[in-house]
Amino acid sequence: MTPLIVLSAVAKDYATGPEVVRALIDVDLEVGEGELVAIVGASGSGKSTLMNILGCLDRPTRGRYELAGVDVTRRSADARAVVRNRLIGFVFQGFNLLPRTSALANVELPLVYRGVGRRERRRRAERALAEVGLEARAGHTPAQLSGGQQQRVAIARALVTEPPLLLADEPTGNLDTRTSHEVLALLQRLVARVGITIVLVTHEADIAACASRIVTMRDGRVESDHPNLPVSAEALLGGRPEASA
């Protein structure tokens, strides 16, 4: 079975004035289904660039990117939008929910762009909100929700299209430790229950420790890539101490 993500010799150059910044240099990476991969590294190590390419927000300068068996390296902007909509869910550090818009409407949004009918959209969005335990807050706007709740709404939005891949860019960066662990526990449950693949960028060691694999970036290259016995975030919260991934 082919891995979900196959990056072969992917490079990304940025031209800033006369200089060329090499943000990624010959990155090879394969991620299988059901993995929870943490990408760590200092700032400027290329993790954000890598995430942008994995998320089909950006195109590599060189190399090849296959997602779910499809070569998405040289797709047009609109084609990449479709790939993002069908195959990828995004969770951001800043939550990135639409302001003045209810949680339910936020979760429905990806389905709008998929052309799903109104009633079906509503049903699936309600189910996704229930999955993150926020069915009671469906009518609240982001301003009426706590940081942890906002991030759970964002996760519901990422899950509502049932994508094979969830990309999380510093998902706990704006959260306190306890809330961070709650979010991580949710992600771990998803991997276990739905078999979704999660790639998350973090610079917090305790968050990375919850992953099943840790990829360390440095100066645009993969410095190390090794499996990890995941710590259960549930356990960190004081629940039963058992590995959940």
CA dist 26 and 157 (Å) reads: 33
CA dist 174 and 47 (Å) reads: 18
State the minimum distance, in angstroms, from the CB of residue 157 to another protein: 7
Token pair, residue 97, equals 């929910």
CA dist 153 and 151 (Å) reads: 5
Choice between 87 and 236, CB closer to another protein: 87
In the DSSP assignment, the letter for residue 197 is E
Choice between 41 and 89, CB closer to another protein: 89
State the minimum distance, in angstroms, from the CB of residue 231 to another protein: 29
State the minimum distance, in angstroms, from the CB of residue 241 to another protein: 36
Residue 220's closest CA among 18, 23, 10?
23
CA dist 34 and 29 (Å) reads: 15
CA dist 168 and 112 (Å) reads: 22
Choice between 108 and 182, CB closer to another protein: 108
Choice between 197 and 216, CB closer to another protein: 197
Find the angle CA(175)-CA(138)-CA(128) to the nearest 5 degrees.
80
State the minimum distance, in angstroms, from the CB of residue 232 to another protein: 30
* Binding stretches for another protein (CB under 8 A): 52, 55, 57-58, 77-78, 81-82, 84-86, 90, 92, 96-101, 109-110, 112-115, 157, 161
State the minimum distance, in angstroms, from the CB of residue 83 to another protein: 8
Choice between 58 and 206, CB closer to another protein: 58
